[in-house]
Amino acid sequence: MEVKLILVEPQLGENIGAVARVMSNFGFTSLRIVSPRDGWPSEKAIAMAAHGAFVVEEASLYEDFHTAIADLNYVVATTVQDRYMEKPVLSPKKLSSLIGKVGLVLGRERSGLTNEEISYCDAIITIPTSKINPSLNIAQAAAICCYELSKIKPSKSQLPKQALRGDLKLFLEFLEGELEKANFFKNPRIAPTMKRNIRNYFTRSQMTDQDLKTMWGIIRALRGKN
């Protein structure tokens, strides 16, 4: 398993730096950043990272979330408790059985990840917090995730290596397009929810490359395109 941390639209350079520092504390060095609000590079991020500055300096910048996860096999979103119930909630033990490139996604400081973004994630990790003050600082959430990930010992039983998330997205766009043409989304009021449910199903269904190919063929055949 190869772990990438992905920050989606982080606001403060200090937070990016604090995330980088704690990643390096636990031996993780690959950081991806989607559209940091205050631009890039960030002096504040480098200063805050201290001995983890190399993680900031070697971070990859992305313009949007989908590009940042396109080459990954499994994507885990961090959310506050009970945020989103349709995804499997992952335990560190389960995480250890994943193979390929795994992304751990942390959302914006104030608003977290959108439901749209979460619908493209394979699973969520939830850190149980107090009702009095449930909202963790982003670098604290990163600290706890990295700490848990570093405790994991490789598991012998392995889940199948999933298709790249970019390939899955292409398939979902194709499927939605075909369903539009087939007048599947008749009611515009509930169409967004229906689309999200479809995305959620396919995202959690552990599709391999072969499964994806098969599904492309099935959709084409059903639409009389063979």
Give the interface with its own copies as residue ranges (CB under 8 A). 18, 21-22, 24-27, 50-52, 127-130, 132-137, 139-140, 143-144, 147, 150-151
Cβ-based nearer residue to its own copies, 48 or 164: 48
Residue 53 CB, nearest approach to its own copies (Å): 10
Structure tokens at 165: 């998330």
Burial 184-195 (b: 16+ CB within 10 A, else e): eeeeeeeeeeeb
Cβ-based nearer residue to its own copies, 45 or 163: 45
**CA terminus-to-terminus distance, the chain:** 38
Cβ-based nearer residue to its own copies, 86 or 148: 148
The full length of the chain comes to 226
Residue 3 CB, nearest approach to its own copies (Å): 13
Residue 84 CB, nearest approach to its own copies (Å): 20
Residue partners of 52: CB distance under 8 A and separation at least 6: 17, 20, 21, 22, 23, 24, 25
CB count in 10 Å sphere of residue 53: 17
Cβ-based nearer residue to its own copies, 53 or 159: 53
SS3 7: strand
Residue 22 CB, nearest approach to its own copies (Å): 5
Burial class of residue 82 in the structure, from the number of CB atoms within 10 Å of its CB (0-12 exposed, 13-18 middle, 19+ buried): exposed
CB count in 10 Å sphere of residue 11: 16
Cβ-based nearer residue to its own copies, 56 or 68: 56
Angle CA 145–80–203, to nearest 5: 80
Residue 14 CB, nearest approach to its own copies (Å): 9
Residue 52 CB, nearest approach to its own copies (Å): 6
Cβ-based nearer residue to its own copies, 37 or 51: 51
